[in-house]
């Protein structure tokens, strides 16, 4: 299987599989928290300290392995078109579907982030993005921006990484506004740049993580424990950068060395990670809306409730891909 012009690497697919499970876990609860559930929010806080930085790291790594990060000026137009098709078409298509679906469903069931009107929901997709009716798809827009900006910055700097890293690091510490996802671009560009840096190191990077991932994994676990227990009021910028950077060698090293059976499961999930990312919140929301009409999710009910939502968020997008979208060539290519 070839993706982005490169032969797929099993460890990257496995890492994406792990990351997408964490994404789904973080989407189980939106604004209305279950009553009497003390364990979920600390775990989600710990997950949010690293799961999207890890995803952006993997995206930066893939951009190097595919050659897209080092594209010469003559390829920029084609790269822009390819990235727009791959990322912006699903972003706007899914965003519009989410706005319309939530607006209709809100008349019949509980809906997270329901828009006040269709017009307000569409406006929030592209302007006041802090109020987006589908805030979970921001990764697509951010990835589009950083992936088309990276070859320009690398070419400007003669192929060196100094300008890219300095620019991304500078954005991280700027108080950018929540319009057109400027705040998200600023917050996460450094992790994509870190993936580009890791990809440029080649075998030296994989050798480093193979040799040191165990110790780094211990440090990473300690960091997550600290965030879960004490981090409720810690500034996001103070947490995201160190924990996100630490997750890269720790988790990438872990997936390169875990058992075959576990690796196969996460490899399979990684192959469907894009589809799961696109549709997990829709299926979680639908399942949640139906279940909440039948049973409470408060207190001891939440654990089995969460298991059902996890299965819905992971397996129903895969079923949609397998039974419907794969039969339409343009949709199959768009969601591969």
DSSP letter string over 224-235? HHHHHHHGGGS-
Radius of gyration of the chain measured on its C-alpha atoms? 20
User: Which residue stretches of the chain are H helix?
Assistant: 10-26, 40-48, 51-65, 73-83, 89-105, 118-126, 138-156, 162-172, 182-201, 203-230, 236-255, 260-271, 273-292, 302-323, 329-335
27 neighbors 36 (Cβ within 8 angstroms): no
> What pLDDT is stored for residue 101 in this prediction?
85
Query: Between β-strands 6-7 and 2-3, what pairing exists: parallel, antiparallel or unpaired?
Result: antiparallel
d(CA 110, CA 32): 10
In this prediction, residue 87 carries a pLDDT of 97
Tell me whether residue 98 is exposed, middle or buried, using C-beta atoms within 10 angstroms of its C-beta: 0 to 12, 13 to 18, 19 or more.
buried
- pLDDT computed for residue 328 by the predictor: 93
Q: Report whether 190 contacts 168 (CB < 8 A).
A: yes
Alpha-carbon gap, residue 43 to 47, rounded angstroms: 6
Domain with 199 in it = 2-335
Q: How far is CA 182 from CA 1, 64, 139, in A?
A: 34, 24, 12
Cα–Cα distance between 71 and 141 in angstroms, integer? 20
Distance CA 154, CA 71 (A): 9
Helices (H) and strands (E) in the chain, counts: 15, 2
Matching residue, tokens 């049973």: 295
Residue 3: predicted pLDDT? 41
Determine contact, residues 302/37, Cβ cutoff 8 Å: yes
The beta strand positions in the chain, using DSSP E, are: 2-3, 6-7
Question: Which residue stretches of the chain have pLDDT < 70?
Answer: 1-7, 31, 260
Q: What whole-number distance in Å separates Cα of residue 76 and Cα of residue 158?
A: 16
Two tokens at 27? 């989407």
Name, in order, each residue with C-beta under 8 angstroms of 8's C-beta and a sequence gap of 6 or more.
1, 2
Domain count, the chain: 1
pLDDT the model gives residue 248:
98
Q: Which of 68-93 are b and which e, b meaning 16 or more Cβ less than 10 Å from the residue's Cβ?
A: bbbbeeeeeeebeebbeebbeebbbe
Scan for tokens 């997936």, then name that residue: 255
**Dihedrals phi, psi of 6, to nearest 5 degrees:** -130, 160
């Amino acid at each position: 299987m070839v993706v982005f012009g490169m032969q797929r690497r099993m460890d990257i697919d496995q890492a994406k599989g792990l990351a997408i499970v964490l994404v789904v876990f973080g989407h189980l609860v939106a604004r209305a928290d279950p009553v009497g559930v003390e364990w979920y929010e600390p775990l989600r806080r710990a997950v949010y300290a690293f799961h999207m930085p890890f995803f952006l790291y993997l995206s930066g790594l893939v951009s190097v392995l595919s050659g897209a990060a080092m594209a010469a000026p003559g390829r920029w137009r084609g790269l822009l078109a390819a990235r727009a098709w791959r990322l912006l078409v699903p972003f706007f298509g899914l965003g519009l579907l989410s706005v319309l679906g939530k607006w209709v469903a809100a008349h019949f069931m509980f809906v997270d982030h329901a828009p006040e009107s269709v017009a307000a929901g569409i406006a929030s997709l592209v302007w006041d993005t802090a109020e987006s009716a589908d805030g979970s798809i921001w990764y697509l827009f951010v990835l589009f921006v950083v992936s088309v900006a990276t070859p320009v910055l690398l070419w400007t700097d003669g192929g060196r990484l100094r300008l890219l890293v300095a620019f991304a690091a500078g954005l991280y510490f700027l108080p950018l506004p929540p319009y057109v996802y400027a705040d998200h671009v600023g917050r996460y560009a450094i992790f994509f740049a870190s993936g580009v840096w890791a990809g440029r190191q080649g075998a030296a990077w994989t050798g480093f993580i193979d040799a040191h991932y165990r110790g780094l994994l211990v440090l990473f676990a300690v960091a997550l424990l600290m965030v879960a227990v004490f981090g409720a009021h810690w500034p996001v910028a103070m947490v995201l950068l160190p924990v996100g950077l630490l997750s890269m060698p720790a988790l990438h090293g872990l997936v390169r060395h875990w058992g075959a059976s576990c690796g196969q499961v996460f490899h399979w999930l990684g192959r469907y990670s894009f589809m799961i990312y696109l549709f997990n919140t829709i299926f979680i929301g639908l399942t949640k809306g139906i279940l909440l009409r039948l049973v409470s999710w408060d207190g001891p009910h939440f654990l089995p409730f969460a298991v059902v939502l996890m299965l819905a968020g992971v397996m129903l997008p895969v079923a949609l891909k397998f039974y419907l979208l794969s039969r339409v060539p343009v949709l199959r290519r768009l969601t591969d």
